Amino acid sequence: MTALQMTAVAMAICALLVPAQAQEKTHPCAADALKKAEPLLRLQSEAGADQPLDVETTVKVLAPVKALKGKGRFDVLEVWGHVYKASYRMRFIYAQIPNSCALMGQEILEADSPY
């Protein structure tokens, strides 16, 4: 096999591997975060049961954060939701316990400028 052929084979292998590595893995608690997003959004926005709202189905996995006590870390999942013209960023914080979705905290922030 010539050097040119070896280079072509190596490039083909790299082309096959890169897309596989670029795909994000779904977090085991993504479905739980989506399930908890609508009630949190309704509570924050004071939306009634009949008022329409939208929760995006994309769950973004953010960098883990340090626990307030001990040496543990928490996984952070981000979900966006919308009520009328307002958009909200919701973050759900889960303990890193195998086979468990122990919700340790949540935050919601309207994506708007008060200034």
Q: Is residue 10 part of a domain?
A: no
Is 14 among the domain residues?
A: no
Residue 5 located in a structural domain: no
> Would residue 50 count as lying in a domain?
yes
Q: Is residue 73 part of a domain?
A: yes
In a domain, 66, yes or no: yes
For residue 1, is it within any domain?
no
In which domain, by residue range, is 102 found? 26-110
Q: Please provide the size of the chain in residues.
A: 115
Query: Tens digit of pLDDT per residue, the chain (115 long)?
Result: 666 555 555 555 555 554 444 345 689 999 999 999 999 999 998 877 788 899 999 999 999 999 999 999 999 999 999 998 889 999 999 999 999 999 999 999 999 877 7
> Do the domain assignments include residue 71?
yes
40-46 own/partner pairs: CB under 8 Å, 24+ apart = 40/90, 40/106, 40/108, 41/81, 41/83, 41/88, 41/90, 41/108, 44/88, 44/108, 44/110, 45/83, 45/86, 45/88
Into how many domains does the chain fold? 1
